[in-house]
Structure 1
């Protein structure tokens, strides 16, 4: 299967929604209509930092997505790219879709003069970690969340 990765566009909502539902299910997170519409509104709002890309197969089906945004890197006084979400549809896994998405995101970062790409994944997501270990460097940083 070959895929082409491209930025998300205004008319991609329903195809994107199917993937975003799959992503939410993968992480056992309930996706409400309100959440989906909020995230989509961020993606298509040119004044919001979140943007996204989609992987499309030869048949025109959406098989993967990524959401990313620029983020200040204070210690280097540069701007990096934070990859919030990367998801590949179950029936497209193992076909190079994740790597194609990562290549697209890396080109995006280079084209926008961003210093590095940062991302996190679940500790038990071994499949994703195989790809991330191939394209990046695992850090020693420990991630925390604080509810407010």
Structure 2
């Protein structure tokens, strides 16, 4: 499958929404209209650090998405990129779409002088881990969440 990866634009909402629904469903997270609109508003707001890209196949269908944001890296006094969300539509998996989205984010980071891309996935998402093992190095860091 041949795909083109490009930044998300203001007219992409409904096609993006289908992928974001799939991503939310994959992680068993209820996606409400309010949540979807909030995330979309962050993506299209140039004053917000969240940005996004989409993979589009030859037919013009959206088959993958990536959401990412610039972050400070205090110990190295550099800026990095956090790849928050990476999702490939089920019928497009195994065709290089994930690699294409990661390559796009890597180019995005390089163009901006960012030094590292960080990402996480669920401990049981072996498919994502297999992909990430081909493009990065698994770290020794353990992630925690604190509710507020």
Query: TM-score, normalising length from structure 1?
Result: 1.00
Deviation at 1:70, TM superposition (A): 0.3
1:126 aligned residue: 126
Deviation at 1:130, TM superposition (A): 0.6
SS at match of 1:138: coil
**Structure 2 residues without counterparts, runs of 5 or longer:** none
1:143 aligned residue: 143
**Structure 1 residues without counterparts, runs of 5 or longer:** none
- Runs (4+) of structure 1 exceeding 2 A deviation are none
1:33-80 deviations in whole A, cap 9, x for unaligned?
000000000000010000000000000000000000000000000000
Indicate the RMSD between aligned Cα atoms, in angstroms.
Answer: 0.3
Query: TM-score, normalising length from structure 2?
Result: 1.00
1:97 aligned residue: 97
1:85-136 deviations in whole A, cap 9, x for unaligned?
0000000000000000000000000001001000000000000001100000
Whole-angstrom distance in 2 between the partners of 1:69 and 1:35 = 18
Report whether the alignment pairs 1:70 with 2:70: yes
Aligned residues between the structures: 148
